[in-house]
Amino acid sequence: MVQESDDIEKKSPSLAVIIAAGQGTRLRDSTGDDALIKPISPLMGVPIIVRVLRTMMKAGVRKAVVVTGYEGGKLESFLKDDKRLSGLELVFARNDDWQKSNGLSVLAAREAAGDDNFFLSMADHIYSIELIEALKQRQPVDGGLVLAVDRRVHDLSDPDDAMWVRIGGDKGILRISKDLTEYDCVDCGVFSCTPGLFDALESAKKENNGDCALKDGVQKLADRHKAFTADIGDAWWQDIDTFQDLKEAEKKLLRSLRKPIDGIVARNINRYISLPISGWLVKHTNATPNQMSILCVLISLVAAALVAFSKGSYFQVLAGAALMQFSSIFDGVDGELARLKYDFSPSGEWIDTIGDDISNYSYVAAITYMAYTSGNWQALLAPLGVVALVGYAVAIPLAYSYIIMYTDSGDVMAVDYDFNKGDKSFEDLRWWVRLLARLKYVTKRDFFIFIFFVFALFGVLVLALPFAAIGAVSVALAAFSQHIKKLKKLREEEERR
C-alpha cells in the first residue's frame, strides 16, 4: 500500500530527473521551424523546460538531472547560462540513443540520480505546482513509483496521443498504454519515483533487444503492485507536441495567473482585460514589471489631475475616473508579467506598493480638491476627504514599518491583518476588525476604484469621499492594532526566555 505521510515536505524528493532528449518533430513540423529545439522553445517568453524546472524549484527541488540527446550541447549551454535557474544544481546526462524509446533516456540519468528518490518529468509537459503537491501526498512504496493522473479524460487537446491508465484498488496501476480502450484516467507525464524504476527499465530493456519505453518500466512495477497513482484534481497541465498544444498551454498559463485573493472587480472584470495585455507584452516586447508599475502610476496621476482641475465638468471628471479605472486594470499587469517571466525582486514589490499608494492618495486628494473648489453642496464633503487623507497618512507608514520590521517582503499583503483570518475575524471584539472582515473584498483597491467610476458616471464622484474616509480610518486602526499585537507577542517571547 502507498504510504501516506504527515511529514510530506521532509520526505519529498529534492531531486528531479527531466527528460529532454527528443527531437520534437511534431512541434517542428506544425510550426515550420526547422531549427527548433523543443525544450527551449518559448512559451510566453520563457523556454518550456525552464518553466518545468522553475515549477520543480518551487516544489523544493534543489538538484535536477537533465537528460539531453538531440542538440544536447546547445541545450546544455543554454540552461547553464539561464539566471532564472540560479540556486538549482544542474547535472546533465547524455543519451546518445535518443532516437530510440524514452525509457533509455530515463536510464541515462541513473548514475547521476544515485540512490535517492526523485521526481521524473518530461521536459515538454508544463503544469501547476498543485500537480506536484498532489504527488507529494502519496509516497511511493519501496522500489515503486507514483504517477500523476488526470481523470478529466474528455478535456484533452490531443487525445490520440494520450497515455491512458487503468487503475484498480488503492489507486494502483493495472495497465498503462496508448492503445487502451478501457481506461480511468490519463498519464500527466510526471512521477514520484524510487530507484526501483531503473531496475524495472533495465529488465524491460533486456526483454526488448536493448530498447524500452518508460511505460514498459511502469507496467513492470504495476505487475508487482508497486505502481500507484495520484489524482491531480483541479490542477492544470499540458503536453506540448504541436503548435496547437503550445497555444493551449498559453491559455492555461494565463488563466493560472488569477489569484484566489482577487477582489470582486479584479476577478470578474479586470483580469479579463489585463491578462491579454500581459500575454501580448510578454510575447512581443521586453517590458519589465517595474516599467509597468511606473506607467500605472503615471496614468493615475494624469487621471487625478483631470479630476482635480475639472471645474465641475462632467465629461472631464468622467474621463479622469475612466482613466483611473484603466489604471486599476493595468495595475495587474506588473504582477502578471513578473510571474510569467519569473522576474521577482524586493525592489519590484516596493515599487508596486508605493506606486499603488501614490495613486490612491493622489486620487482621493484630487476628489477632495474638486469638492472644496466646487462652490456648491459638494464642498460639504471636502472635510471627509481630509479625514481619508489623514487616515491614509497614518495607515501607510504603519503598514510599511510593519513589513520592514517583521517580514522580508515589500508587499502590504504581508501584514498579518486580523480581519483576514476567516471566521475568527467575525468574532473579534474590535469593531473595525469585524467591519473590515465583512468588507474584505469590498475594501480592496479594485472595488473602490470601480465604485468611484460608477459615482463619476452618475455625476456624483464626491460621494466616494465618505467611503474613502471610513476605509482609510479602519485600515489605519487595523495597522496600528497589528503593531501593538506584534510588539506584545515579542515582549512575551522575550519574557519566556
> Of 478 and 95, which is predicted with more confidence?
95
Task: Using the structure block, give the residue that is written with the C-alpha cell 517582503.
Answer: 409
Categorize the per-residue pLDDT at 68 as very low, low, confident or very high, splitting at 50, 70 and 90: very high
Q: What is the pLDDT of residues 130-165, one digit of tens each?
A: 999 999 999 999 999 999 999 999 888 888 889 999
Tell whether the model's pLDDT for residue 441 goes beyond 70.
Answer: no
Q: Which amino acid is at 102?
A: N
Residue 287 has pLDDT above 90, yes or no: yes
How many angstroms separate the CA atoms of 278 and 286, rounded? 11
pLDDT at residue 2 greater than cutoff 80 = no
pLDDT band at 1 (very low <50, low <70, confident <90, very high): very low
Q: From 235, 260, 254, 257, select the one nearest 413 (Cα to Cα).
A: 260
Distance between CA 325 and CA 267 in Å, rounded?
Answer: 14
Mean pLDDT of all residues in 327-346: 92
Q: Which long-range contacts (CB under 8 A, 24 or more apart) does 242-251 make?
A: 242/26, 242/27, 242/30, 242/158, 243/27, 243/30, 243/31, 244/30, 244/157, 244/158, 245/27, 245/157, 245/158, 246/27, 246/31, 246/41, 246/43, 248/157, 249/43, 249/126, 250/43, 250/44, 250/279
First to last CA, the chain: 45
pLDDT at 390 exceeding the cut of 80: yes
Q: What is the mean pLDDT of the chain?
A: 90
Q: What is the pLDDT of residue 7?
A: 52
The arithmetic mean of pLDDT across residues 392-404, rounded, is 90
Residue 4: pLDDT band (50, 70, 90) is: very low
Q: Residue 458: which pLDDT band, with cuts at 50, 70 and 90?
A: very high
- Rounded-to-integer distance, Cα 190 and Cα 440, Å: 38
Q: Which of 21, 22, 23 is nearest to 34 (CA)?
A: 23
* Mean pLDDT value across residues 35-40: 90
Q: Which of 27-31, 33-37, 280-284, 399-403 has the highest mean pLDDT?
A: 280-284
Between 190 and 441, the higher pLDDT residue: 190
Q: Examine the pLDDT at 440 and tell me if it is beyond 70.
A: no
Whether the predicted pLDDT of 422 surpasses 90: no
Which pLDDT value is given to residue 470? 86
Q: What is the mean pLDDT of residues 41-57?
A: 96
Quote the pLDDT of residue 411. Answer: 81
pTM of the model: 0.86
Place of cell 521577482: 344
pLDDT digits over 299-335, tens only?
999 999 999 999 989 999 999 999 999 999 999 999 9
User: Given a cut of 80, is residue 414 above it in pLDDT?
Assistant: no
> How would residue 432 be classed by pLDDT, with cut points 50, 70 and 90?
low
Domains and CATH numbers, the chain: 8-253 (3.90.550.10), 257-496 (1.20.120.1760)
Who wins on pLDDT, 110 or 434? 110
Encode pLDDT of 223-245 as tens digits: 999 999 999 999 999 999 999 99
d(CA 357, CA 334): 15
Q: Which residue has the higher pLDDT, 263 or 398?
A: 398
Asked if 253 contacts 43 with a C-beta cutoff of 8 angstroms, the reply is yes
